[in-house]
Structure 1
Amino acid sequence: MSKIIATVFYVGYLRPAPGTWGSGVGVLGALALHYLGGFPTLLVATIFVFFLGWWATARVTKGQEDHDPSEIVIDEVAGQWITLLVVSYGAWQIDIDPLRLYPGWIAGFILFRYFDITKPLLVGWADRRQDALGVMLDDVFAGVFAAICTIILAGLSHGLLHL
């Protein structure tokens, strides 16, 4: 069960770029959760997936030298959901179809992948922990950075550019 969870039903075995596949599944999952119950549902699911992913990652990597094998993508899902919480909240707050905010979903996906790959600041610190918590935290921090940038882009788009 822990391998199924950690690999998000084996999506982590897709090649190339399993982290990108995991993030893509994360976007689709966030949209589905928003449609099921809006922002509150996505928020609760994000918290749940973080702790479930931490547990599953610890189980899968126990006794292995590689603390973060590429097939583990539950961390990408959690981080992507953190990023997309801001878009979900915006759609929920003004009660519109979340796909009307499609630039935010796209920007959130791209920005999350950027921070997850480049690992600046706290993202890199968490990744260097060499444990299951670090696997999850690096994507949490990447998600927070991407969420902040997504908010800034939305502000620029809606405020300055009047789009």
Structure 2
Amino acid sequence: MNTAQLIGTVCGVGHLRPAPGTWGSLAALPLAWVLHTVGGFPLLVVATLVLFFAGLWATRIMTKGQKDHDPSEIVIDEVAGQFIALWAISYPSWAHGIEITALWPGWVAGFVLFRFFDITKLGPVGWADRRGDPMGVMLDDVIAGVFAAIGVLVLAGITHGVMGL
């Protein structure tokens, strides 16, 4: 396996079946926990940016000359998008000194919402996916991650604000 394949498949996670995208999203969870634990929200943001650009490069290499612009084994995009979804819990944890595992409902919501937006390709997520190029491969998951993060924030607001829990 060459470097682009290692990055694109997240060390082979993208070859797991069924649903390699879901496996990629699941792999992102412990990675995000480690990054947050080591360096807080700032490290998670930096890692997300590095993964985005590394994923863009790997996707270009892996799809060059191929008809399939988004092969299922490329899951680095899911990891980057899942990281963005988790920004919604990483920032408050870091900013307020809350143990990130105490925000476990946000982990669950971030995972479920990210998978929902990534699979359904609603609105701009679908637009990015239809680009048919490496940027589209990465961008649809970034947008799905942003939507999921917003969803986590809305759910937290309802739970802690409206319901007072």
Q: TM-score, normalised by structure 1?
A: 0.99
In the alignment, the residues of structure 1 paired with residue 28 and residue 117 of structure 2 have an alpha-carbon distance, to the nearest angstrom, of 16
Matched, 1:88 2:93: no
1:9 corresponding residue in structure 2: 11
1:64-87 deviations in Å (ceiling 9; x for gaps)? 000000000000000000110111
Per the TM alignment, residue 48 of structure 1 is displaced from its structure 2 partner at its CA by 0.8
2:21 corresponding residue in structure 1: 19
In the alignment, the residues of structure 2 paired with residue 4 and residue 10 of structure 1 have an alpha-carbon distance, to the nearest angstrom, of 6
Q: Which amino acid aligns with 2:107?
A: W
1:142 corresponding residue in structure 2: 144
Q: Which amino acid aligns with 1:47?
A: L
Dislocated runs of 4+, deviation >3 Å: none
Quick one: percent identity of the two aligned structures? 61
Which residue among 46, 49, 56 is the counterpart of 1:47? Answer: 49
1:108-150 deviations in Å (ceiling 9; x for gaps)? 0000000000001110000001110000000011001111111
Q: Which amino acid aligns with 1:104?
A: G
Per the TM alignment, residue 90 of structure 1 is displaced from its structure 2 partner at its CA by 1.0
1:33 corresponding residue in structure 2: 35
In the alignment, the residues of structure 2 paired with residue 118 and residue 91 of structure 1 have an alpha-carbon distance, to the nearest angstrom, of 29
User: Secondary structure at 2:58's aligned position in 1?
Assistant: helix
Which residue among 74, 81, 84 is the counterpart of 1:79? Answer: 81
Q: Which amino acid aligns with 2:111?
A: F
Per the TM alignment, residue 96 of structure 1 is displaced from its structure 2 partner at its CA by 1.5
Per the TM alignment, residue 161 of structure 1 is displaced from its structure 2 partner at its CA by 1.4
Q: Which amino acid aligns with 2:10?
A: V
Q: TM-score, normalised by structure 2?
A: 0.97
Q: Which amino acid aligns with 2:125?
A: V
1:1-27 deviations in Å (ceiling 9; x for gaps)? 000000000000001110000000111
1:130 corresponding residue in structure 2: 132
Per the TM alignment, residue 94 of structure 1 is displaced from its structure 2 partner at its CA by 1.0
Unaligned runs of 5+ in 2: none
1:32-91 deviations in Å (ceiling 9; x for gaps)? 100011001001111111011000011001000000000000000000001101110011
